[in-house]
Amino acid sequence: MSGRPAALTGEPLFADSVPVTRPTIEIGDELFGTFRTILESGMITNSEQVRAFEEEAAAYLGVGDVVAVSSCTAGLMLVLRCLSVSGEAIMPSFTFMATGHAAVWNGLVPVLADCDPGGYDLDPAAAEGVTGPGTGVIIATHIFGVPCDADALDATAARHGVPIVYDAAHGFGSTYPDGRAVGCRGQAEVFSLSPTKPLTAGEGGLIGTDDPELARELRIARVYGNAGDYDSLYAGLSARMGELNAVMGRANLAELRERLDRRKRLVARYEGALGELPGIDFQRIPPGAESTYKDFTIRVDPDAFGMARDRLKDLLALENIMTRCYFNPPLHRQGAFVTAVRERGPLDNTERLAARLLTLPLYTSMEFETVDRICEAIGRIHRHRDEVHARLGLERETVDGLHH
């Protein structure tokens, strides 16, 4: 190891590319044995395994009902449909596109509000500022697994007499400051089980709710709105969970606590090493709360770090370290939303996060040594930043590509 960045030596720190994430899946004979039994039984969708998965998930979360669906996006679409909301949907601009799509598919108009600069979640004051007579629902996302300020957001929703739904795609296993699991707040919380999420079933979604009537409707809505007599009650979806997915979800749920603990220790290792560099800080977690660390993200202050996020990303790629810039562009600058949304109020924090956040590799099977070497790569890029900029013929950057 030369101690100098690959941009100067041509020698990457990693011979093989380090992925930004890898799905954590239990692969064992038992799993394949169960797959065989299910395939032989002919009951391959929405049957005993799905029921068992729903019950185990509800017990884990301490929530009245869990309804399994084919994806988080479908789950959000169905929840909004079953709540019969109309008008405007207040939501953060700093979220995944599916939060907005679920609203648009229900004929709702997304109204985008700014996020908290420390925890990155929907800012309750900003949400309050845009909630009014036209509001039909509030949708908030637990970004990267950090729970929203549900006390403040629920209070806003109650004050205006509108339902609130949480996009909990990142949050299966996160807890609120009072120790309760994410999944038990609002009218419903919707989890994703797609491969990049800390709990995966291959694909799928889970809806947590303490409203038994809503749960009953969702179970009908996920099968076309057909309660069994083929006289459909609502325009439902085909959004069942397959039995094989439920088997994978159950196997992974059984290991979840240990895996989340490992992710937490990997993040602590990252923060210990990177916290010493100027201009890098981390997502804030409310005291007492726990995050799944669906992603580990650093915020790069270009002035203090001496380099902008995009340059750091490119230089890490030369070291064979893959990274991502999550929710850039944010909703209000995406093609699908430019004409579909109403913007009210500033989105300055959203723009700053979109320009400055960098998601580093994190997966449960990752070695601590890999974390150490990624930190070393960032350290050596920082130490040699002037030389790198000179070599690349670039001005030293103290600003980033902020949109105004």
Name the residues that contact ligand PLP, by CB under 6 A: 71-73, 95-96, 98-99, 141, 167, 169-170, 192, 194, 205
43 versus 325: smaller Cβ distance to ligand PLP: 325
131 versus 141: smaller Cβ distance to ligand PLP: 141
Q: Say if CB 300 and CB 316 are below 8 A apart.
A: no
146 versus 220: smaller Cβ distance to ligand PLP: 146
Instruction: Provide the minimum distance between the beta carbon of 101 and ligand PLP in the complex, in angstroms, as a whole number.
Output: 9
192 versus 350: smaller Cβ distance to ligand PLP: 192
Provide the 10 A C-beta neighbour count for residue 401.
14
Instruction: Provide the minimum distance between the beta carbon of 360 and ligand PLP in the complex, in angstroms, as a whole number.
Output: 17
- Whole-angstrom distance, CA of residue 233 vs CA of residue 225: 5
Structure tokens at 215: 């749960």
Instruction: Provide the minimum distance between the beta carbon of 259 and ligand PLP in the complex, in angstroms, as a whole number.
Output: 18
Instruction: Provide the minimum distance between the beta carbon of 98 and ligand PLP in the complex, in angstroms, as a whole number.
Output: 4
76 versus 308: smaller Cβ distance to ligand PLP: 76
Instruction: Provide the minimum distance between the beta carbon of 75 and ligand PLP in the complex, in angstroms, as a whole number.
Output: 8
Q: Say if CB 290 and CB 174 are below 8 A apart.
A: yes
- Whole-angstrom distance, CA of residue 253 vs CA of residue 258: 10
49 versus 99: smaller Cβ distance to ligand PLP: 99
Instruction: Provide the minimum distance between the beta carbon of 141 and ligand PLP in the complex, in angstroms, as a whole number.
Output: 5
- Whole-angstrom distance, CA of residue 66 vs CA of residue 218: 10
- Whole-angstrom distance, CA of residue 143 vs CA of residue 298: 14
Instruction: Provide the minimum distance between the beta carbon of 96 and ligand PLP in the complex, in angstroms, as a whole number.
Output: 3
7 versus 193: smaller Cβ distance to ligand PLP: 193
- Whole-angstrom distance, CA of residue 54 vs CA of residue 65: 8
- Whole-angstrom distance, CA of residue 100 vs CA of residue 171: 18
Instruction: Provide the minimum distance between the beta carbon of 189 and ligand PLP in the complex, in angstroms, as a whole number.
Output: 12
Q: Say if CB 202 and CB 189 are below 8 A apart.
A: no
Query: What is the three-class DSSP state of 55?
Result: helix
Q: Say if CB 162 and CB 136 are below 8 A apart.
A: yes
148 versus 381: smaller Cβ distance to ligand PLP: 148
- 259-265 long-range Cβ contacts below 8 angstroms, 24+ apart: 259/24, 259/198, 259/364, 260/173, 260/198, 260/290, 260/292, 260/293, 262/364, 263/198, 263/292, 263/293, 263/362, 263/364, 264/290, 264/293, 265/368
